[in-house]
Chain A
Amino acid sequence: MAIPLNYNLRNLIVRKTTTLMTAAGIALTVAVLVGDLALVEGLSTAFKKTGHPLQALVLRKGANAEIGSVVTRQAFQTLKAKSGIAANSAGEPLASPEIVTVINLPSIDSPTGMNVTLRGLGVSGIEMRNVKLNQGSWFQPGQRQIVVGKSVAKRYPNAQPGKNLKFGRGEWEVVGILDGGESAINSEIWGDLNQISSDFNREDQVNSVLVRAVDAASIKALINSINDDRQLNVSAIAEPEYYERQTSAGAPLQFFGILVAVIMAIGSSFAAMNTMYAAVARRSAEIGTLRVVGYSRASILLSFLVESLMLALIGGVLGCLLALPLNGITTGIGSFVTFSEIAFNFRVSSQAMLVGIIFALIVGAIGGFFPARTAARKEILTALREI
């Protein structure tokens, strides 16, 4: 028969200072873990929300990223004539040649400058993305105008409507703020394709071409037909897949955060063990009494283990509460793929919190097992005699 849970609960309440201190230690560990998971999740959300399932990104064969890719205008002419490419209302193929580079701007976090992606594109490129303007107007073809993503506007003091940015052959006027929902587009600056390519002396080549397939059935065929065309010397990749690959930018921080959390967990399980050993020592006579009343060794073991798990659960919940305020905070991280910064929001998801609580329970189980075993092994008579 199991010892009622109420017994454990009351014990935890009686020793409330110790309980709270131990739980707080576990809470800090859980907060570090949940915070780290929230960071990684926020980053991967930004990438996952970028990219249209019907679209493919065309890069030079061998290139892993837009910035390292070159597609000639000639190849673009061949590309846009491929069958399977959707057309817009005006009957023009939805294929957008784009030029991508990075410019260095001082940001709030790094005053010495951080790289921001600059993308030159035409009307079809805008049409192919799920974006809207938050403020101001779109850049006009042939004008030295740019629009900045909303995260860029938030993080880079110089990238504000009405201000000018200097790159290429001179000044560019910021005319609007771009809202790409939660996507990575918020971290980009957009301008007119032709204007930007002439500024950077790249009139006869672009970095990438974005194409939209007619429907879900034809996207695969379109990608294959582009990949198999030897003359083009390009390769196509589904747009969502391209962005998903970039989530690796968070890998070092993820690894580091988890490492720290595990090390802290080792420390807190020692602390929990200490607390539980003390509990066992103090309640020696009680353990003897429980045995006399008829509870088995197994019930004693279970009872102390459960008490430790309850302790850890309190810690886990506290830890999640501690990490919760992180939700929605914007931060940025550099990607070695785009060679620029992507801004994203921390996302404390229920999944991350669940992981945190399970993590706490593991700490509690490790910390509780040995003391519980000691308690269960006590002989009745010696247990009763101890004070």
Chain B
Amino acid sequence: MKTVDYLPLITKNSFRNRRRSLLTISSLAVSLCLLGVLMAMSRALFFEAEQSPAQAVRLVTHNKVSLAQPMPASAEQKIQQIQGVQAVSVRQWFGGNYRDARDTRNFFARFAVRPEKLFQIQSELIIPDDQKQAFLRQRTGCVASRDLANKFGWTPGERITITGDIWAANLELTLVGIFDDPDRNEWLFFNHDYLRESLPSTDPNRDLVYQILVQADRPEDVSSVGRAIDDLFANSPYPTKTESEQAFALSFVSFLGNLKLFLLAIAGAVTFAILLVSANTLSMSIRERIREVGILKTLGFTPAMILGTLLGEAAVLALIGGAVGSAFAWVLCKLISSAPTPVQQLKTLSVTPLITSLCLFAALLIGLASGMIPSVGASRKSILDSLRHTG
């Protein structure tokens, strides 16, 4: 008999106790779904995801001491002159409050930028040309990402008031455009000149910047441009730290605490739990069937054949669980990635084909490992003992 001929026997056996199979599969599916989500999370958070061409040439410069320390506004000009730099724009974080700040729904990123540079550097952002022109013309104009505009039901012409906290200025902005962002950020950009003018004339912040966005000519230039910028300011009163935009974004992940260990610990617990569940079920179902194994042996089945069918059964259950779990994980990741989050990376959360196959592989491995001990025991039992067994 060929291996394929055992398939009907295996599948039939897998579902002889339908309730148990269903419960086992559900239990495995739930756990494997979790494992899938955890894997997707570590991918999104810790593995440098494939960068978009626009992101691959971007760098962020800030004061070496920390983001809360400024650089002189003149730094922007100086960086522009460095070899390999395509475009430069200040990107000022304007905390502030929109409506009632106690409601976290009202929180979104607000940046003061150079309107003429924004859509050049952030070339992945798509905006109709007339709206872009309006943003260039109108000093108090601002543009919002589509997700943000939809959240508040904004349309062009909307008046948006943001009161400052870090900055001693209140902004009276008018929405002049809505852009599409493939990364689905909730972003609002407004004119840096307007911010500067709104500050009191004595405010030292008028001539200070905290973040500068740099666009290199080519992706290969990114590291040399970063070094050149930091070398330029190394001996000034304001030494800088320049990192790729992706590395900069990753630095915020550490804000969530020691996530790596946290994810690893949970993934370990989940894997071990699955192992227990599946081992338990399989040993229960095999124990019930020892007599039957004896009968099969009298019919001429060798221990190897019996081991094969029993393990096959474990594999079938585990694989179904893995497939269902991966599907659930896919749904869950979709839900999480569309929810508002302060951690940008979670927006890219997705169950990739690699993660699906890892999930299935883990399921298979767990199924076989957990089925091994009871199956070997059953296949080795002598015919007489098996037949005598009363389950």
A residues whose Cβ falls under 8 Å from a Cβ of B: 17-18, 21-22, 24-25, 28-29, 31-32, 35, 60, 62-64, 67-70, 101-104, 109-110, 112-115, 167-169, 200-201, 252-253, 257, 260, 263-264, 266-268, 270-271, 273-275, 277-278, 331-336, 339, 341, 387
A334 and B251 alpha carbons, distance in the complex (Å)? 11
Q: A387–B391 Cα gap in the complex (Å)?
A: 9
Q: In whole angstroms, how far apart are the Cα atoms of A74 and B17 in the complex?
A: 81
Contact B254 A110 (CB under 8 A): yes
Contact status A35-B265, CB under 8 Å: yes
Q: Is the CB of A264 within 8 A of B163?
A: no
> When each residue 26-64 of chain B gets 1 if its CB lies under 8 Å from chain A and 0 otherwise, what string results?
111011011000000000000000000000000000001
Contacts A267-B31, A274-B24, A334-B255 given; does A253 touch B262 at CB 8 Å: yes
List the A side residues contacting B19 at CB < 8 Å: 277
- Bound state CA distance, A101 and B33, in angstroms? 42
Q: Which residue of A lies closest to B167 (CB)?
A: A68
What would be 5 A-B contacts, judged by CB atoms less than 8 Å apart?
A28-B270, A29-B273, A252-B342, A263-B31, A275-B284
Question: In the complex the two chains form, what is the Cα distance from A63 to B341 in whole Å?
Answer: 22
Question: How far is B272's CA from A264's CA once the two chains are assembled, in angstroms?
Answer: 11
Select from chain B the residue with minimum beta-carbon distance to A17. Answer: B283
B255 contacts across to A, CB distance below 8 A: 333-336, 341
Interface hit among B3-11, B66-74, B113-121? B66-74
The distance in angstroms between the C-alpha atoms of A291 and B265, with both chains bound, is 47
Question: Is B280's beta carbon under 8 Å from chain A?
Answer: yes
CB distance from A282 to the nearest CB of B (A): 8
Given known contacts A264-B31, A277-B23, A252 and B256 CB-to-CB distance under 8 angstroms: yes
Interface size on B, residues (CB 8 A): 55
Does B172 make an interface contact (CB < 8 A)? no
Is there contact, CB below 8 Å, between A31 and B23?
no
Asked whether B254 lies within 8 Å of A109 as measured between CB atoms, the reply is yes
In angstroms, Cα B132 to Cα A186, docked, is 49
Find the A residue at minimum CB distance from B22.
A270
B66 x A274 contact (CB < 8 A): no
What B residues does A68 contact at CB under 8 A?
95, 165-166
Within 8 Å by CB of B65, from A103, A275, A277, lies A103
> Does A104 contact B65, Cβ atoms closer than 8 Å?
yes
Contacts of A70 on B, CB cut-off 8 Å? 168
Contact with A along B246-288 (1 / 0, CB 8 A): 0100011011111000100110011011101101110110000
Query: CB-CB < 8 A to B97: which residues of A?
Result: 62
Checking A28, A252, A257 against B272 with a beta-carbon cut-off of 8 angstroms, the contacting residue is A28
Q: Which 8 pairs of residues, A with B, have the shortest CB-CB distance?
A: A334-B255, A270-B27, A333-B257, A267-B30, A68-B166, A21-B280, A110-B254, A271-B277
Task: Give every chain B residue within 8 A of A270 (Cβ-Cβ).
Answer: 23-24, 26-27, 30, 277
Chain B residues, Cβ within 8 Å of A387: 390
CB distance from B263 to the nearest CB of A (A): 9
Question: Cα distance A260–B332 when bound, in Å?
Answer: 12
Contacts of B26 in A (CB 8 A): 267, 270
Q: Which residues of B contact A168 (CB under 8 A)?
A: 65
A29 to B19, CA, bound (A): 23
Question: Is A62 in contact with B66, judged by CB distance below 8 angstroms?
Answer: no
CB distance from A279 to the nearest CB of B (A): 10
Contact check, A113 vs B69: say whether CB atoms are below 8 A apart: no
Closest Cβ of chain A: how far from B166's Cβ, in Å?
A: 4
B20 within 8 A of A: yes
Task: Give every chain A residue within 8 A of B69 (Cβ-Cβ).
Answer: 101, 103, 167, 200
Bound CA span A104–B274, Å: 41
Considering the chains assembled together, what is the distance between the CA atoms of A108 and B126 in angstroms?
41
Chain A residues closer than 8 Å to B65, beta-carbon distance: 103-104, 167-168
- A101 vs B276: C-alpha distance in the bound complex, in angstroms? 50
List the B side residues contacting A32 at CB < 8 Å: 266, 269
Q: Are A101 and B254 in contact (CB under 8 A)?
A: no
